[in-house]
Amino acid sequence: MSRRWGLLLGVSLCALACDEEKPPETSKVEKKVEETPPEPEVKSPPHFVISADGPSVRGTSVEGEQKSGLLNTVERDKLKNYLADEKEFIADKELSVIIDRKAKRGWVGAYLEELGKLGPAKLTITTETRTEFSGSIVFVAPGQEGALDGCTMIGKITEHNGSALWQVKGGAAKERGPGLGGPDLSMAKESIAKTYEKCESKLFITDGENSKDWGFIFDMAAAAISTPDSGIEQAFLAPQPLTEGKPVKL
């Protein structure tokens, strides 16, 4: 009997040892379904707009001062930063800027100056104008005007919506009173046509005081470009208003 019990005990101990060495059953692990990473967001080009309330970039507005037609230091810095954030869409690109007729000249001057610092390849401004004029004009950005031909003309809208015309080299400005509902642009075109008979410049400088509505200033440029045989193809707006009759130094 003792031998039998010994054999049974040995078998039991062996079975117990084998159970201890057997690795535990692994628990079932649920495999995570790998999620497809989201497509990277593609940033679209911004809208460049100057409304009757102030400039905006990609829908973010900067408040302009109506009375002075200027941007204060804080708002100017905001505009500068908003445009700098869009440099990838400005540098060496063809831009379109939509400007309301009631926007102030000072806002437009600041906007174009900041755009010019970022190096656009081409700048087209669209503004509602008279039916006989083009509503889209190519403007040379400040800083890209190069050397100005002395015979290049400046047409400035005066305080009471008349016009003053003179040349980059200076000289007495030819002043005209207002017509019906704005500057007498037909008279202005006569002076432009006469000057550009002997002037090979393709540029016209349009202007007005900072507080003037942009609409008439744009109309002046549109009238110059529409003057037959003038050869004018582009317009320019200086960052700050020019003085009638004085030589232009930018």
Q: Which residues, including other chains, have CB under 8 Å from residue 177's CB and lie 6 or more apart?
A: 160, 162, 184
- Provide block-wise average pLDDT over 10 residues at a time, the chain (250 residues): 48 48 52 66 91 96 95 97 97 98 98 98 97 96 94 96 96 89 89 95 97 97 96 97 93
What DSSP designation does 91 have?
T
Which pLDDT belongs to residue 204? 98
> What is the pLDDT, as a whole number, of residue 35?
72
DSSP for 20-82, please give it.
HHSPPPPPPPPPPPPPPPPPPPPPPPPPEEE-SS-EEETTEE-PPPTTT----HHHHHHHHHH
Question: Which pLDDT value is given to residue 42?
Answer: 77
Identify residue 136 by its one-letter amino acid code.
S
DSSP assigned state of 104:
B
What is the structure's pLDDT at 13? 44
What type of residue sits at position 88?
E
Backbone φ and ψ of 232, nearest 5°: -75, 130
pLDDT of residue 137: 98
Q: Output the pLDDT for position 182.
A: 83
φ, ψ of residue 184 in degrees (nearest 5): -80, 90
For 123-148, give the DSSP string.
Answer: EEEE----TTS-SEEEEEPTT---SP
Residues facing residue 166 across a β-bridge: 154
